[in-house]
Amino acid sequence: MHSIKFLHQDIHDQDSLQGMVSELMSQMGLDEKIGQMSQLCGGGGWVPDHLAAAIRSGQVGSVLNEVDLDTVNELQRIAVEESRLGIPLLNGRDVIHGFKTILPIPLGQAASWDPVIVSEGARISAVEAASSGVNWTFAPMIDITRDPRWGRIAESLGEDPYLCGVLGVAMTKGFQGTDLAENGSIAACAKHFAGYGTAEGGRDYNTANIPENEMRNVHLRPFKDLVDANVATFMSAFCDLNGVPASGNSWLMDQVLRQEWGYEGFVVSDWESIIEMSVHGFTGDDEEAALEAVNAGIDMEMASSTYRDHLENLVAEGKVDLEHIDRMVVRILTLKFKLGLFRDPYTDIENFPDLLNEAHLQIAKEAATKSCVLLKNDNKTLPLSISGLDSVAVIGPLADDGYEQLGTWVFDGEAEHSITIKNAIESLVGSNVTVNYSRGLDGTRCKHHEGFGHAIDAAYQSDAIVLVLGEESFMSGEAHSRANIDLPGHQEALIHALAETGKPITLVIMAGRPLTLENIVDKVDSILYAWHPGTMGGPAIADLLFGLESPSGKLPVTFPKMVGQVPIYYSHKNTGRPPSAESCIQMDDVPARAAQTSLGMASFHLDAGYTPLYPFGHGLSYGEFHYVKITTSKSNISLGQSIDIAVDLINTGERQAEEVVQLYVRDLVGNVTRPVKELKGFRRVKLNPGQRERVSFSIHTDDLAFYNRDMKLVTEPGQFHAWIGGNSDAPLWAEFEVHE
């Protein structure tokens, strides 16, 4: 009933907002405060009695995984009209890359290097989710990972803190809009705080051991970017970070998040991550887990009930301060006011556009188009020409599978709405080109070759082959890590068999991670990496294959030659013995009985060298881009000044195309060792054939700051190198100096 009292007060006025929260707090009992700190799972389309009772008695302040609108509105009605204080509910859902209109997986969206389309994708996802009563999503996931064995790399925005931060902020802004109370805005959640992406062995939930300097210079950076972008909530990670599980880690949740960053939003635990601290062996029982979590700074408990079961006693025993509890509840209530829930807790479907409407599908198609990365294109096999082809073979277990192309973490999207590559090619070419379709394999894990004959026949009957292979959606995502990241099953065998036909092969790969492709890379003419491209993956890929669009994606993560190279990433340290082509001898070239010190005494693998198959930032297009004339506006600058670094970009190709121009910088000497390169800027530039454009970046000395041995964020005077190019191996470089 109290909600009515707040109806006419301004939630956008800070004083008014604080006044409403304070008034509500003053009337809450401890049990009701603890209720706000508790989140329970919904019934999925109905109201379980236990949930209704808990809401009615004020013991639950949030639910998750309820997207049936009538059920959500009934849960809100119980909270608002049947509980003593009438506090509305937060309703959370994993809207990771779309709700009903499914976008490419986040790793694919990261390959677009386009904050605008990433933000637009998040916005349509928020609008669709909000129409089902969702007001909080557990995204963006901004864990930095350099291990493609880890299944959750699919949910990440890649290996680089700068790119991850820029795109994570874009996604947050898409979800939250300019006003959380606006129709279609939902609260975002920075997760998983922190260090989860370094799970040992790439095995999900495994231990994370990260030195503080590395935490600060790499893993924490995107989270700070989202704090600065006013992300509404954080989520604690499952992992044991340096011996202390994140959900009981006061260095993370208090020292960094509150003391250093001054973050005012609230932190939710991950699913049962609080009780799992006893499984980790960090706490002895649920009561101890509740004590560690609440005192570390976990404001809300997801799914488990240790707060409801133990916090009152812990306060009574003086182990938890009531003021501490109050600060936590204020954070939660503040978000509910900001979301406008006290003004209107109910969702009216009439206030929302249709799911899967044309505008949403167009955004999903644009996102998929910009996410695809052209890894190789020998002999200009692509684009295929509709007028120049009589027939095309479309082969592979993923060529016509609307479910698998959606990817991991799809709770509400449905395969029936997907347009597959096969369907899209047939629609695009119409009667101009005969499409000979064959699955070739029953599925990606199929190990028999019964379908090979039909596929080979289709190939012989055709002028060109489009082969669609990769991973099923379950092979990435949470708890779905792989030790061998080759193409699963006998897909490589199918490639070898089709290569025997002599027909030009374009391989389209759908996967939730970088795969190791060295065994087959020379067997195909072109490779288009589509990740899991979502609902509109088919039309996007068809447009790219037949040249209606030019590929423009760039890798947000390094592609190793073989899994034994992992971790391998571009912003590595130089070591005291950096490898070079001269210093690294291939194992097969080593003479018999070579003396111990005769081989290149450098940091490399005898059987893999030291370079990846494809570097971070790599991606081809149908243009021909050249970088010339790199310049710096000054040869040296003082601390506090900026410097402009520019280059001429030329498209000498025959088509208009878009290039993601990338700026990398190296700090040659540091108080701690510094990476050989760090991404410091990027920009999409579209050029017509023959067009030349000057592309300039401005770097401030603050952009060069890093955490030193004393964990102080500093920019040190000294020599710097800068590169501008189309990937992290860009050769064109310049130098400048920073002085006091």
Rg of the Cα trace of the chain?
A: 27
Residue 41, classified by CB atoms within 10 Å of its CB into exposed (0-12), middle (13-18) or buried (19+), is: middle
Nearer to ligand GLC, 167 or 660 (CB): 167
Antiparallel, parallel or unpaired: β 636-638 and 434-438: unpaired
**Min. distance of Cβ 39 from ligand GLC in angstroms?**
10
**Min. distance of Cβ 497 from ligand GLC in angstroms?**
40
Instruction: In whole angstroms, give the CA distance from residue 684 to residue 681.
Output: 11
Among 33, 97, 146, 191, binds ligand GLC (CB under 6 A): 191
* Nearest alpha carbon to residue 502 among 526, 519, 524: 524
Decide if 104 contacts 167 (C-beta within 8 A): no
Question: What residues contact residue 359 under an 8 Å CB cut-off, 6+ apart?
Answer: 124, 353
Calculate ∠ Cα 504-506-509, nearest 5°.
155
Strand partners, 682: 662
478 is an interface residue for ligand GLC by CB under 6 A? yes
Decide if 335 contacts 187 (C-beta within 8 A): yes
Q: Which residue has the tokens 């349509």?
A: 124
List the structure tokens of 613.
Answer: 């198959």
312 is an interface residue for ligand GLC by CB under 6 A? no
* Nearest alpha carbon to residue 713 among 73, 23, 77, 224: 224
Nearer to ligand GLC, 150 or 720 (CB): 150
- Ranked by CB distance to ligand GLC, the top (closest) residue is 138
**Min. distance of Cβ 94 from ligand GLC in angstroms?**
5
Nearer to ligand GLC, 94 or 400 (CB): 94
Site string for ligand GLC, 92-131 (x = CB under 6 A): --x-------------------------------------
Nearer to ligand GLC, 204 or 366 (CB): 204
Distance of alpha carbon 680 from the chain centroid: 19
List the structure tokens of 23.
Answer: 């008034």
**Min. distance of Cβ 173 from ligand GLC in angstroms?**
20
Nearer to ligand GLC, 149 or 216 (CB): 149
**Min. distance of Cβ 271 from ligand GLC in angstroms?**
4
Calculate ∠ Cα 186-191-194, nearest 5°.
155
Nearer to ligand GLC, 188 or 505 (CB): 188
66 is an interface residue for ligand GLC by CB under 6 A? no
**Ordered DSSP codes for 543-554:** HHHTTSS-----
**Min. distance of Cβ 610 from ligand GLC in angstroms?**
34
Residue type, position 707, single letter: Y
**Min. distance of Cβ 293 from ligand GLC in angstroms?**
16
Nearer to ligand GLC, 271 or 733 (CB): 271
138 is an interface residue for ligand GLC by CB under 6 A? yes
Site residues for ligand GLC, 262-301, by CB under 6 A, read 270-271
- Which positions are catalytic? 270
203 is an interface residue for ligand GLC by CB under 6 A? no
**Min. distance of Cβ 138 from ligand GLC in angstroms?**
3
Count of residues of this chain found to bind ligand GLC when the rule CB under 6 A is applied:
6
Site string for ligand GLC, 70-99 (x = CB under 6 A): ------------------------x-----
Q: What spatial distance separates the first Cα and last Cα of the chain, rounded to whole Å? A: 62
For 620, which DSSP code? B
Residue 115, CA distances (Å) to 196, 649, 666, 738 in order = 24, 21, 24, 30
Nearer to ligand GLC, 191 or 503 (CB): 191
For binding to ligand GLC (CB under 6 A), which residues are involved?
A: 94, 138, 191, 270-271, 478
